[in-house]
Structure 1
């Protein structure tokens, strides 16, 4: 079930609408990607997504869309796994078809999953325009931001053990965790690192593969001017450029992941504890049923 509808996801604040407006249900099957941001997460991708929608380039696929569709998470889990195992590569017809299917109905895209599939995305969309979002504080600022929001997935201390243990009983959350670990593995293979060096090496790859006339290197602090000029559209009159920072939303999301997993563990514990109690004291269930029955008779 998608995270937009699951009542437990809503209860624990991990449903997708809690973390940004959705374009997922507004897709037109006749629309294909025209504009793709290959900038890494935490480089202004949420602000860019909102700006593109305002300029008429929606629906726009953002990283949070993977929360709206567990099927999307599973699809990219498979793609990342096959790339790591060298069972597919950029330009393979089957890989192109999978990427096209996942992005069908979206006019633009930012953030994951395509940001970590640079060569594969360029091969799948040879006529698209591309944006590379960058941070004013460079590699160190990017890595600090990534670490402060998402390090639950790859840190090596006891907090990683706590996180994985808490989310383990929820298959959807395990797949999200596994997907991030696969992204880390891809970066280790391609860039030789998963730290602040990833930022510069990733950006260098984008610059090397995308023709300059089809690439805009963009700092969201620049506002509408460079973006609208690159896209050939008018600057929206009287509309302020979006300035969004989803750090608090991400922190809330991961807290919700752990609370949800802890809740499921408690449910398991109650079920197992009840089963053990019935096995040890066979008459316990019968007495409990009789007690409830007596209470209901008294009430009615």
Structure 2
């Protein structure tokens, strides 16, 4: 993963590396959970993820983190099933398995589980980044257009172990937020769903007396560092490091383009392997004919 890849894709550049296929069910917590950033996707979550990295938090979890270990999708599906369908349980033990290597989280799917994460980690501090709703709806529409594009859908079917897993979690997130499953209905309910999410987070934070920072991108390091008890980060020359800014509009289009190419490669490889197997079976069968 080069600097150019990171500049273009942000943390999504993890998809360019081979997934380690870690089974999180066999993991445990190795660092304390300290920060829960509970704003939805398209509110500068990539910038916040990078900011937490700069501040020294271990592996801040973002939706893009899934690309570093696609098997995470299996546990996220369990979490969604437990919360929204009453199938099984997903408590602190499971959160420690799934997020035990992380000391901060941001973006969906984590932001959907604010109450559960606050219950599991009552010592953590909460951050809520808000964006003007009209700008968010427009940005969210770009995401939905890419996520529900026929190419993405078809590749999810043909490439079930990679694209299919990622699509499954992505669609579950969107349905959980909006209560809808079609592109038109999702966008029709987007504004209300956005406002409801913030209302829910604020109510759950107040109910638990969790320290909360209401933060807007553009405010820089000072309010965030004061809230988290961190020094404003500086480089080796004692010059303040600029607050990260990821262009999410350009980023998301590049991400889906790279995803499609990677998934298509998976499909072609699977087709080649299947063709070789069929050829081998046919050859063996021909040798058995007397």
Q: Tell me the residue number matched to 2:80.
A: 80
* Deviation by residue 1:104-128 (Cα, 9 ceiling, x = unmatched): 1211111122111122222211221
Match of 2:14 among 1, 13, 16: 16
How much has 1:32 moved relative to structure 2? 1.9
* Deviation by residue 1:237-296 (Cα, 9 ceiling, x = unmatched): 52221122243332122112322343444456667788999999x9xx9xxxxxxxxxxx
Q: Tell me the residue number matched to 2:213.
A: 216
Q: Tell me the residue number matched to 1:117.
A: 113
In the alignment, structure 1 segments of 5+ residues that lack a partner are 5-13, 155-159, 286-300
Distance 1:84 1:261, change over 3 A: same
How much has 1:184 moved relative to structure 2? 2.0
In the alignment, structure 2 segments of 5+ residues that lack a partner are 2-11, 235-239
How much has 1:213 moved relative to structure 2? 5.9
Pairing 1:166–2:137 present: no
Pairing 1:148–2:138 present: no
Q: Tell me the residue number matched to 2:226.
A: 229
The count of corresponding residues between Structure 1 and Structure 2 is 253
Match of 2:242 among 233, 237, 240: 240
Question: Matched residues in 2 for 1:236 and 1:278: separation?
Answer: 60
Q: Tell me the residue number matched to 1:69.
A: 69
Q: Tell me the residue number matched to 1:9.
A: none
How much has 1:151 moved relative to structure 2? 2.9
The SS at the match of 2:195 is helix
Distance 1:213 1:251, change over 3 A: same
TM-score normalised over the length of structure 2: 0.74
How much has 1:168 moved relative to structure 2? 2.2
Distance 1:56 1:81, change over 3 A: same
Question: Matched residues in 2 for 1:77 and 1:17: separation?
Answer: 20
Query: In 2, are the aligned partners of 1:38 and 1:115 still within 8 Å (CA)?
Result: yes
How much has 1:207 moved relative to structure 2? 0.7
TM-score normalised over the length of structure 1: 0.72
Question: Matched residues in 2 for 1:143 and 1:127: separation?
Answer: 33
Question: Matched residues in 2 for 1:249 and 1:18: separation?
Answer: 15
Question: Matched residues in 1 for 2:83 and 2:210: separation?
Answer: 29
What is the root-mean-square deviation in Å for CA atoms of aligned residues?
3.5
Query: In 2, are the aligned partners of 1:53 and 1:59 still within 8 Å (CA)?
Result: yes
The SS at the match of 2:214 is strand
Distance 1:226 1:252, change over 3 A: same
Question: Matched residues in 2 for 1:273 and 1:227: separation?
Answer: 55
Question: Matched residues in 2 for 1:148 and 1:187: separation?
Answer: 16
Query: In 2, are the aligned partners of 1:73 and 1:175 still within 8 Å (CA)?
Result: yes
